Amino acid sequence: MITQFSFSQENKKVETYNFGHNGMEYIARSSKGTVIISTFNAKMTIREDIASIVYDLYMANKLETNKTITINGCEANVTGKLIITKKDKLTAVDFYYEKVEWNHGLTEIYKKKIG
């Protein structure tokens, strides 16, 4: 057991990234209006999973605007800032990735490219 603990500690690695996917991931329409889930600085392989969870949390009324939250996805936990904007029957929920903690041990932190 001590060997496993030591080995798991060696696998933890932190890297920065300055690229990511920005775009609308999820659009839901109902008689109450339209909800658009967008992600920014997202990792391509998990963006749909994370957007779906953000939508579920929004529909369960568990999100607040201008808050940093952690979304527990299938492949990674993503920490980021959430902005909710409402206008008439349209609601935009924007999630900005700040940190991705992959299940395999790698942690990626978004760092805006300067220049």
Within a domain: residue 3? Answer: no
Residue 90 lies in a domain: yes
pTM for the full predicted model: 0.86
For residue 1, is it within any domain? no
Mean pLDDT of 14-29: 94
pLDDT of residue 85: 98
Pick from 23, 25, 32, 22: which is nearest to 91 by CA?
32
| Total domains, the chain | 1
Mean pLDDT of 66-71: 98
Q: Which domain holds residue 103?
A: 13-110
Residue 28 covered by a domain: yes
